[in-house]
Every structure is written in C-alpha cells, then in structure tokens.
Amino acid sequence: MTTKYWNVLKQRFLGDSKGRTADGSTYNSAVCGLRSAVCERSSEVALRPPSSVLRPLSSVLRPPTSFLCPPSSVLRSLSSVLVIAALLGATQTLSGCQDSGPIDVATADRVPVDLDKSNEERLLRYYLGGYVSAEGGDPVEAGLMMVDGGLALNPQQLDPAFRTALTDTDGNGTIGWEEFVEFVEATYADARLFPHTLAELKSTVQWSDDDSVWFTLDVDGVVTVARRRIYVPLEAIRTALAGYSDAGERIVYAPGTVIVAEHLDDERVLETTVKRRRSDGFWDFAIYDASGRRALRTSTGPRELRAPVQCVGCHLGRRAFDPEKSFPAEAPDGPYGPRALYVSDDLRNAEVTAYFDEHVKRSDGLLGLYATLYTARLVADRDAGSLSEEDRTLLEELGL
C-alpha cells in the first residue's frame, strides 16, 4: 500500500478536522469505513500495510478533544484490531463494525451512552435515577438504563416532556457527554420537582432563622469566595445520630432532608445552593439566584458552577477539602482567602471529630461536619451541666 493510497483513504473516510467526511458521516462511521478499507486492501496484497500508513493511522485514531468520538472501548481496541487484521489478511471476520447512523430518540428503545468519564455507571445511575420517580429510584430496575452489553438508556421510559431534550446531535449513534449534559440541564430541575422560587422551596420545609429548628454553620470554603451559611435541620441530624449504629456506624439522613447553603456578602444573600436527599441514597442539587429564582449556574467566584453537572464532581467524589480536612485544627488560607469553619473553641473537639471522621467517610454524601459539630455541642453542654436527659441518652448511645 502506498502513501498515495493512504492519502486517498484519509480524505475519503476521515474527512476534515471536525471528523466530517465528504458524505457528512462522522468519525465513528469514518473509522468503520477506514477499517474495512484497510482490511480489504491488505487482503488483496496479503501483507502488513507499510509503516508509512500505520504511523499516520495511529495518530488519527487519537482524535483531538473536539473530535466526535466513538466509544472509548472502540478507540482502545481499534489500533490493535487494524494491525491484526492486516497481518492475518482477515476481511470478513472483522467486518462487524457497522455504522448504526443517527438515533431517532423518539422511537429507539436502546441508545448507547458513552460519557467518557471515570465511574461512568455510577454517574449514569445518579442522573437517570432522578428521572425514575419523584423520590428517585433504581434506573436499571425501572428499565430506563441498561448495563449489560454496554451502558445504554431506553428513551421510551422517559417522560415524553423530557425525552424531546435528548438528541443525538452529532448523529453518531451514541449519546456522548455534551449531548447528555444538554439533556440534563434542560430537564433535571423540573424532573426533580424543584420549585421555581426559593420561597416555594422554603414553604415545603419548616423554614425559620431560629436555631431551634436548623443547625447553622458559617464557612469560608472551597466552593465560593462568598461566606457560606449552611442550614441543616436539627431533627435530621438527631435522627441520623440515633440511627448511627443501626446504619453500620454511618450518618444517614432521611429521604426528603433539605440542606440550604446561602452565599453571603455580609448579610446579603447573593445566591443559595440546595441539596435534597432522594430515597435512592443520592442527593439532588439546585441553585437559586439573588432574587430567589431557580438558576442553572452560580454567580459568585472563583468560577461559575452549573447544577447539577458541576456539583457532582466534588459531591460524589472522595477528595478532601479544607477547612473540613484540617478540622479541628485551623485550615491554611486558600488562593482566594481564608478557609475556616466559624465555630466556638468548645466545638473543636478532637475526640468527636475522630469518632465520626465525617468529611472523609461522607457516608451519606454530605461534605460538611454537621453531625460532628452538633455532637460536640452536646458534649460541651454536658460538660457545662446544661444537657437535657434526652440528649444525655443520645450521647450515651453513641458511646461518647
């Protein structure tokens, strides 16, 4: 095979830098075309293609990020498949690569999904679980998500109102990350039934600035340069503490628990972020802007964050952040100023902090130290002789 022949092949099947070929097909089909063409050609000559062909092949098989990508499994296996095919001169046996063409999401009942992310199955379970029911649910059981034979979803199991937002925009027969994000951002907040205003959301919980209902905590942390005031329902913390040993020494919050985090400039609320516990063990995310309207993105620095797509990285991940990581010691400053939990010294209780190891364990997906600080307050009250009998029992049950 000559270099000239290679150039013809390249033009015919790989197209321009965006992966578009002359006939408008995309990288996926182009690669399939290229593969069979090389196979056919190599069977004619029954020889390995010259290195002048194989070298450029391996570089085009690693597309730039803006390229339309076939599933990563295809990419990984493709270069070795090509070499083997060429060596063996096997044409027919390797011709299983067929261009499935664009998907008609309105009618398809199995659409391959390739988000090109680590932990992709968990991520997909998180997102799609939110479309199963108001409480969230198992998307595989519900028939919305398939795991056998590669990750896929069945659009027919989506509410028709949401299904229309799912499109195979690049026509490569797979829902990729950008297409999936477009779908999620267009539908998620409605699918999760987040009210359009913060006032409506607050009316669904027993909202009050009174600290007899909410445990409140001021933080300078990693999420925003603004001061954060986080509100966790006291009752939810107490119930989670009471169930600590039954849950296998885990802090687990009741489904429906709402946690509110205001981003403040002095006492002015610039925006509010919210997490709400689903019954499938995941949490939903929402943002409300300064006027209390539901928003897609945060507005305070250092960078805008879009809900839920840019919330899940930290919230489903394992990375530890300051000031929680250093607690009970003071945390070093971050690049945008202090990192601090504004609590009185008697709440900096090393024994209680180590007992829960809450930020690292994050048994229920919460990143803050709410159970730790609440329990430290009970211990401080006990030391001061002002603890109620009920709270004393709670501490004893914890063995503290």
Residues in contact with ligand HEC by CB under 6 A are 219, 221-223, 228, 230, 259, 261, 273-275, 285, 287, 298, 305, 307, 310-311, 313-315, 321, 324, 366-368
d(CA 359, CA 239): 19
Six token digits for residue 185:
């951002």
Q: Closest CB to ligand HEC among 74 and 305?
A: 305
Closest distance between ligand HEC and the C-beta of residue 300, in Å?
11
- Among residues 326, 397, 395, which one has the least CA distance to residue 359? 326
H-helix segments, the chain: 3-13, 27-45, 51-60, 72-88, 120-129, 160-163, 177-191, 198-203, 234-242, 312-316, 350-356, 358-361, 370-383, 389-398
Closest distance between ligand HEC and the C-beta of residue 166, in Å?
22
Closest distance between ligand HEC and the C-beta of residue 310, in Å?
5
For 388, other C-beta atoms within 10 Å of its C-beta total 11
Residues 100, 173: contact at Cβ < 8 Å?
yes
Closest distance between ligand HEC and the C-beta of residue 347, in Å?
15
Q: Closest CB to ligand HEC among 49 and 130?
A: 130
Q: Closest CB to ligand HEC among 100 and 299?
A: 299
Closest distance between ligand HEC and the C-beta of residue 266, in Å?
18
Q: Closest CB to ligand HEC among 114 and 220?
A: 220
Q: Closest CB to ligand HEC among 144 and 219?
A: 219
Helix 370-383 to helix 234-242 angle (10° resolution) is 90
Closest distance between ligand HEC and the C-beta of residue 57, in Å?
39
Closest distance between ligand HEC and the C-beta of residue 223, in Å?
4
The DSSP bridge pattern shows strands 111-114 and 175-176 to be parallel
Q: Closest CB to ligand HEC among 97 and 223?
A: 223
Closest distance between ligand HEC and the C-beta of residue 259, in Å?
4
Residues 122, 74: contact at Cβ < 8 Å?
no
- Among residues 249, 198, 221, which one has the least CA distance to residue 321? 221
d(CA 346, CA 186): 46
The DSSP bridge pattern shows strands 294-295 and 340-342 to be unpaired
- How far from 298 is each of 84, 200, 227, 262, CA to CA, in Å? 51, 19, 14, 11
Q: Closest CB to ligand HEC among 158 and 251?
A: 251
- Helices and strands, counts by H and E, the chain: 14, 11
Closest distance between ligand HEC and the C-beta of residue 272, in Å?
9
Closest distance between ligand HEC and the C-beta of residue 343, in Å?
13
Q: Closest CB to ligand HEC among 75 and 296?
A: 296
- Among residues 74, 307, 32, which one has the least CA distance to residue 176? 74
Q: Closest CB to ligand HEC among 205 and 314?
A: 314
Sequence letter at residue 24: G
Q: Closest CB to ligand HEC among 125 and 359?
A: 359
Q: What is the DSSP letter of 155?
A: G
